[in-house]
Amino acid sequence: MANDRSDLCVQVLEASPECRRLSRVLECFSTEFARRPSFVVRCSGRVNIIGEHVDYCGYPVFPMAIEQTILLAVAPSDDNLLHIKNADNSFKSYKCNVLTFSIDVPSVGGPNWYQYVLCGVKGILDNSTIQHDPARGMMIMLSGNIPPASDLSSSSAIVSATVLATAYMHNATLNKQTLATISAECEKFIGTQRGGMDQAIAYLAQEGCAQLIEWNPLRATPIQLPANAVFVIANSLSEANKAATSDFNQRVVECRLASRLLAKQMKLNWRELNRFADLQKALGYSLKQMDALVHANLSLNVYTRSDLLKLLEVTEEDFTENLLTPNTRNSQTFKLKQRALHVVQEALRVQQFIETAKSTPEDCISRMKALMKQSHESLRTLYECSHENLDQIVTISDRLGVGTRLTGAGWGGCTVALCDGVEESKRFVETLKAEFYANISKAQTSDIGSLCFTTSPQRGAEIYLIEKQQNNILPTP
């Protein structure tokens, strides 16, 4: 297995804004723990350009890392305890024994912020497939400027940063693909059935390129975007905490049930085919043929629990225990057709988006805008995961000829918009300020520049080593 240790340890320019944030987290760490950290991990948030709710169905996605990051300053402790602090004093500290801790998510309100850190620690220490030193205590100081619940992957960035920090602290092999896979798996400790996109881009991102992320095996292909393409992220100021509700997992379950029901109808081993991509491969179909299959075989707009028990020929106990997730076990109705249509059509849009980027026709950006607009409409109507604030931003975008869609899981969070050049992006941002943010009270007390901004593809996770005598950031020896 390749070791990316030297590739992950880098130097930061002292004059950069990033270096100023690093200096701040070093100061917070030293104040809190009366010593310097051994190293700092940086992990970016992400924006998914296109390909929403398809990763956990086995299809490729097209994200890029953004400038907003999570920083973790870390040092070993001598007391077998995890000391977890946040540079923002509004987040409470947490302490537990590294040998005996558990992750008990509250039934109301979802996970506490530090439980995402615990996921990352547990992901490495409980993993039997990688070699690492015996568990030891750690002092951890977190600083983040990724807005929480904005669908820019703040929670996954915390998990991924902690996986990398724990692996480095315990002398584990630092293979990016392996760490991304572990990060995706261990986030399930807090109950979210994610597909792996956020964690993959966290490690595999390259500056200047978005990444086509594919699965089984995990691989990333850098795709050059049109030179004139400018992306604008706009925060809808409607927060979406996926782990606090069953909405996200309900969609995952509906997709799995749809795939299994189609597989059974096609006389395949349906229990083994719970992802559309696997079903497509087993059938040897194209995405357009998969679309036709859904239309022809999923006839009901709403399937009841009793419908599915009969069609799948399973008992109530089997259905509840083996085909649902813990927070969807009381679900009585399932929209299989709508979810399946979105997934296969969205997968086709990703394919068309990449083909357009590679062939660079004269109307390249116009075609990409149209695909992003179609994506949002599908997410709004078929997947039902939009929000009125997101839709309002998209309506403004449509009037200006900007291609905009919700990004991330939905139910709030952010939109991502594709603009043709800097001038169009400036007009778009100014219009949003005047027509959207001016009417939202929460925006009046916020920095508009942190709510609506242009971004470009950034690099993946890195480790910064700290010189023993000074708080200087050094490359690996």
Catalytic center residues: 198
Residue 176's Cβ-count burial label (10 Å; 0-12, 13-18, 19+) is buried
Q: Which of 163, 174, 152, 82 is nearest to 126 (CA)?
A: 163
Eight-state DSSP code of residue 172: -
> C-alpha 308: how far from its chain's center?
31
Query: Across-strand partners of 39?
Result: 74, 465
Q: Please give the Cα distance from 252 to 246 (Å, whole number).
A: 10
Q: Please give the Cα distance from 127 to 282 (Å, whole number).
A: 31
Joined tokens for residue 84:
């977890």
DSSP string, 354-377: HHHHHH--TTHHHHHHHHHHHHHH
Q: Please give the Cα distance from 354 to 215 (Å, whole number).
A: 16
Q: Please give the Cα distance from 208 to 387 (Å, whole number).
A: 31
Residue 427's Cβ-count burial label (10 Å; 0-12, 13-18, 19+) is middle
Joined tokens for residue 381:
């109507």
Find tokens 């079903």 and name the residue.
Answer: 279
| 44, 455 contact by CB (below 8 A) | no
In three-state secondary structure terms, 137 is coil
In three-state secondary structure terms, 144 is strand
| 333, 304 contact by CB (below 8 A) | yes
Query: Across-strand partners of 141?
Result: 73, 85
| 352, 371 contact by CB (below 8 A) | yes
Strands (E), 21-128: 39-50, 62-76, 81-86, 94-97
Residue 53 CB neighbours (<10 A)? 27
